[in-house]
Structure 1
Amino acid sequence: MLVVIDMQAKLMPHIDNGAAVLRRCLALVKAADMLDIPVLVTEQNSRGLGASVDGLIGERHCVIEKETFDATLCPDFVAALPSKETALFVAGCEAHVCVLLTVTGLLKLGYTVELIADAVGSRMPENKAIALARAQREGAFPTTAETAIFGWLGSCRHPRFRDALTLIK
């Protein structure tokens, strides 16, 4: 499952290298859709931060509105999670608040978490760096958007390989 945390319109202009983070999140969501991987999206205080960035979510995605920084403290989020045998790939903003706290919450619940380092962002780069280091110490596996997508494909023989490749380039 792909978990996309708080990629909201009013937040993204303030994220360091936000355009690149958004591009990678969009590629991940499109690849997940193409490969029938479920997508779970959170929106933090949507009245204040607005909805998710245009084009990010679709009808088949599960969107959870939350007010807690750690999404695992939101019963609707926990109810939407798959079995613990399913690896969770996490992307979104902000790396040092909602992403980190949700990742640590997911780890405490017993999930395997792959944190997509190039698809998370914070307003300040040092906050992102600290969050990535802490998440790894807590047990999350760092990865990249490209690695996640190729891992989902499994092989260049996958029937959707060429389609997925266009998302990466």
Structure 2
Amino acid sequence: MLIDAAASRLAVIDVQSRLLAAVSRGDRVAARCAILAKGAALLGVPVCATEQNPAGIGRTVPELAALIGTVFPKTTFSAGGDPAFATWAEAGGTVVLCGTEAHVCVLQTALDLRRRGRPVAVVADAVGSRDPADREAALNRLRVHGVDIVTTEMVLFEWLGRYDRPEFRAVLPLIKALGPDVA
């Protein structure tokens, strides 16, 4: 099923300064999360972020924090364990997840939301872990449990739905900024 901008929400999971520094290709993960947040803003998709132990591992990185109004601090690895986040996620549609770490907080949030009957999509090129093998294992496990694995570009084009929308010209530079994946 396509991800409809009118029936989805974007959750940026734990893209925090000290944690991101340890994540493989962390700068790229943060950049992709920012592109998604900018696209969401242009297309009216609700956006939130979560922060795991912000006193210990820092706040959401500044370039991303500036794009996100709602932040849910959490003590559980799954954001679904936080009642305020759960209420936000239940407000409708597909929950699109990006952030860190793929095999811990992103995975547990996705599985928790699926258990509650929510449709979930995880943006493969916008999630990361310290060890790339953990990221790959998480994506494989998520597929088995009915989570859609998508890319940033897929999400943006699905949110747009058509090229003749007035927002297309504003979103196109975000798509072009993705560039090729250079390892």
Provide TM-score, normalisation by structure 1.
Answer: 0.95
Of residues 142, 145, 162, the one that matches 2:169 is: 162
Higher-helix-fraction structure: 2
Structure 1 residue 66 corresponds to structure 2 residue 74:
yes
Of residues 103, 122, 131, the one that matches 2:110 is: 103
Residue aligning to 1:46? 54
In 1, Cα distance between equivalents of 2:137 and 2:171:
31
Which whole-Å deviations, capped at 9, do the CAs of 1:58-111 have from their partners, x for residues lacking one?
476221000100111111211222435x11111010000000000000001110
Of residues 21, 25, 30, the one that matches 1:22 is: 30
- State the shift of 1:19 in Å: 1.4
- State the shift of 1:149 in Å: 0.5
In 2, Cα distance between equivalents of 1:122 and 1:36:
29
Identical columns (%): 40
Indicate the larger mover: 19-28 or 52-61. Answer: 52-61
Structural mapping, 1:130-149, within 5 Å: 130-149=137-156
Please say if residues 49 and 68 of structure 2, whose CA atoms lie closer than 8 Å, have aligned partners that are also in contact.
Answer: no
Which whole-Å deviations, capped at 9, do the CAs of 1:3-31 have from their partners, x for residues lacking one?
11000011111111111111110000000
Q: Which amino acid aligns with 1:52?
A: T
Q: How many residues align?
A: 168
Please say if residues 9 and 51 of structure 1, whose CA atoms lie closer than 8 Å, have aligned partners that are also in contact.
Answer: yes
Q: Which amino acid aligns with 1:124?
A: D
Please say if residues 38 and 67 of structure 2, whose CA atoms lie closer than 8 Å, have aligned partners that are also in contact.
Answer: no
In 2, Cα distance between equivalents of 1:59 and 1:164:
15
Segments of 4+ moved more than 6 angstroms: none
Provide TM-score, normalisation by structure 2.
Answer: 0.88
CA 1:51–1:60 in 2, change beyond 3 Å: closer, same or farther?
Answer: closer
Of residues 114, 117, 121, the one that matches 1:114 is: 121
What is the root-mean-square deviation in Å for CA atoms of aligned residues? 1.2
Q: Which amino acid aligns with 1:43?
A: E
- Which consecutive unaligned segments of at least 5 residues does structure 1 have? none
Q: Per the alignment, in what secondary structure is the counterpart of residue 90 of structure 1? A: strand
